[in-house]
Structure 1
Amino acid sequence: MAAPHADRAGTVPGHIDVHQHYFPDFYVAALHRAGRAASGGAPLPDWSEADCLSMLDRRGIETAVLSLAPPGVQLGDPAGSAELAARCNDYLAELCARHPGRLGGFGALPLPDVPASLAEIARVYDDLGLDGVGLLTNVAGRYLGDPEFEPVFAELGRREAVVYLHPVEPVVDPAPSLGLPGWFAEFPFDTTRTLTDLILRGTLERHDGLRLIVAHAGGAAPFIVNRINNVWRELPGAAQRAPAGVTAYLRRLYYDTASCGAGYGLRLVRDLAGVEQIVLGSDYPFVPEHAVTALADRLADPLFLGTGAATLRDNALRLLPRLAKR
């Protein structure tokens, strides 16, 4: 695979990975103080700026777009979440400024604090120059179509913001007896819950300027789209709030490739939304380096999705104009 630097020499450009996480020391310390030594049931991975950049060079990734992993900035101290979000976003902006073209970033918002989130959206776009914002699929058990969050989505829609949607565990585990980590099943299910909520409550209809990237190929939504359509028909008022129909809203979204190495889920997304709505995402550093390369190599094969890696790169650049300018 060509290294990212090859693009500057006029040969093959590298990949753009929209799903990587960062763990600055102050954030890891905050997690430990809050008793949060895991993310979705997975141990917190080792991460550093230097290791991240070295991995990009070794694995042919030209640009990585970084975001916080679950649990984000809600660590049981509502008053401190805005301060932590601002500190993380400042750090991320400095990181991107040191490495333009190599790193991008999705800023954190301190939901459910709506006024603080609106202020942070302004900082993310007007002061820090980040590439968008990152949201988790639920906020203390409240899904993103909650009417209280409407001012946040109205502002994001007004700005035609790129919103990166990453799953988090639900507040109550619906299957506690299984003893399985949250990333195994609850991540895709929670993604599906919040997408359904955003559609059926009319959030995506009201704010069609939003450009939403959904992690992990949309969770279970592409697989159970028929069930979501059925509840859209039967739930009082849903068809009026979402007149375009469930499939139309899902086709507007972008989907990343993380956790889809075998390709079955990606083929569902391709059939639902088209290859122009798919972007490369690896989930590094939760996945090992060799998995990043294996996924990128598979996506580069035009027989895999009916397209090559260049298409996914172009999709990301079209979606992230700040990144393209860098």
Structure 2
Amino acid sequence: MTNSRPALRIDLTRRAALGGGLAGLAAAAWPASLGTPARAEQPAPAGTYRIDLHAHFLPPDYRAALLEHGHLTIGGYPTPDWSPEQAIGFMDYYGIQAQALSVSDPGVSFLSGRDAIDMARYCNTYAAGLFTTHPTRFGAFAVLPMPDIAASIAEAIYALDELRLDGVILLSAYNGVYLGDPRFEPLMAALRQRNAYVFVHPAAIPDNAKPALPLPDFLEEFTFDTTRAATMMMVTGMTQRYPGIRFQLAHAGGAVPFLSHRISVASQSVLGRLWPEDLPKPSILDTQNQISRFYYDTALSGSAAAMASVLAVTGRDHIVFGSDWPFSALTLPQTGSHDPAPGLSAIFDADQRMEIEHHNPLRQLPRLADAVKS
């Protein structure tokens, strides 16, 4: 898939930085080829049109197992209740046509052996059942019994080929091993054969490996872990070796857009400047291109600051809508507009929001696109 990242011209003046506030910053960082950013008061498109690629579900047996194993919170957020009826009620209120459901952190990795394999199969089969009972409202990304690579390959093949799920979800790391590590290569090869869509979601860091701050993981640590995973995937060449896999980064890519120059600093060095144009670039010199090829969702990131940063590294066609429901239930606006992400209108006009919230997601998930149109 080709990238349409526009040339970016940034003219961040002292007046824009100090006097213009957020609107000034957004306008200063806005790619000139896209025209003038929409103003905050511009309304979103009307109707139930959104396609949500960052939405979670907790089937009954899965949620019971989480609680039984002490997972009373997920990322610091109380483990929520979930049902198809609740999800449809949420979607109807916020103008969401369909959700691609996924199991959030910790996946099924809190189990081991046969228990993890069986739980993954249960969650994936449950999701596939929703395609029958609610065919136009739900898609799904398969959870895999990671870090068991052989079992995960088998489950991915079954979920994608037999259950016809829309992709897979992978956590940023398993037992401290980040995506990009060579031990994940066999799984990536299997996913490449299917041109799979892969949703990369952050995982909680063990308490002994992070600062002892009185902050829930979802507030900051989740974004940092997505950044670590994406960086490892790039510098080890994983995203370069498997261009057929489309990777979606949660929460606007964490800190990847903001750190894009720093991550790609090698390409700015003498080595990068002197590298022959007719030779393939090693991964460390190709990070800017790889960053542009990720897909970035809007979950908990529907703001001019976040979206301007994403637009600085990729095209609008690589942004997809995400709600993070039900984990975002306490943060969603309860307004008469029924807009789940009003901050998107601070930088996108109505046509651009339709592209991001409807067309882009369906372009990546052909099975769900066919179901929605039927």
> In the aligned structure 2, how far is the partner of 1:23 from the partner of 1:180?
24
> In the aligned structure 2, how far is the partner of 1:122 from the partner of 1:104?
17
Match for residue 52 of structure 1 among 87, 105, 125:
87
Aligned partners of 1:16 and 1:62 also within 8 Å:
yes
| 1:324 Cα deviation after fit | 1.0
| 1:175 Cα deviation after fit | 4.0
Name the amino acid aligned to 1:309: R
| 1:233 Cα deviation after fit | 7.5
Aligned partners of 2:260 and 2:313 also within 8 Å:
no
Structure 2 residue 317 is matched with structure 1 residue 273? no
- Alpha-carbon displacement from aligned partner over 1:187-213 (angstroms, at most 9, x marks no partner): 011001000110011111111100111
> In the aligned structure 1, how far is the partner of 2:89 from the partner of 2:359?
24
Q: Which has the larger radius of gyration?
A: 2
The residue aligned with 2:138 is: 103
Query: Mean Cα displacement is larger for which, 286-295 or 82-91?
Result: 286-295
Structure 2 residue 253 is matched with structure 1 residue 214? no
> In the aligned structure 2, how far is the partner of 1:291 from the partner of 1:241?
45
Name the amino acid aligned to 1:325: D
Q: Secondary structure at the match of 2:139?
A: strand
Q: Secondary structure at the match of 2:157?
A: helix
The residue aligned with 1:133 is: 168
TM-score, structure 2 length as denominator? Answer: 0.79
| 1:162 Cα deviation after fit | 0.3
> In the aligned structure 2, how far is the partner of 1:56 from the partner of 1:172?
35
Residues matched between the structures, number: 312
- Alpha-carbon displacement from aligned partner over 1:236-282 (angstroms, at most 9, x marks no partner): 9xx96416611100111111001113331111101210111001101
The residue aligned with 2:121 is: 86
- CA gap of 1:92–1:232, structure 2 versus 1, over 3 A, is farther
Bigger relative contact order, structure 1 or 2 (CA pairs below 8 A, ≥6 apart): 2
Unpaired segments ≥5 residues, structure 2 = 1-44, 272-279
The structure where helix makes up a greater share of residues is 1
> In the aligned structure 2, how far is the partner of 1:190 from the partner of 1:173?
15
Match for residue 116 of structure 1 among 144, 151, 159:
151
Aligned partners of 1:21 and 1:284 also within 8 Å:
yes
Query: Mean Cα displacement is larger for which, 99-108 or 169-178?
Result: 169-178
The residue aligned with 1:183 is: 218
Aligned partners of 1:275 and 1:305 also within 8 Å:
no
Aligned partners of 1:257 and 1:280 also within 8 Å:
yes
Q: C-alpha root-mean-square deviation of aligned residues, in Å?
A: 2.1
The residue aligned with 1:227 is: 262
Name the amino acid aligned to 1:104: G
TM-score, structure 1 length as denominator? Answer: 0.90
Aligned partners of 2:144 and 2:152 also within 8 Å:
yes
Aligned partners of 1:3 and 1:57 also within 8 Å:
no
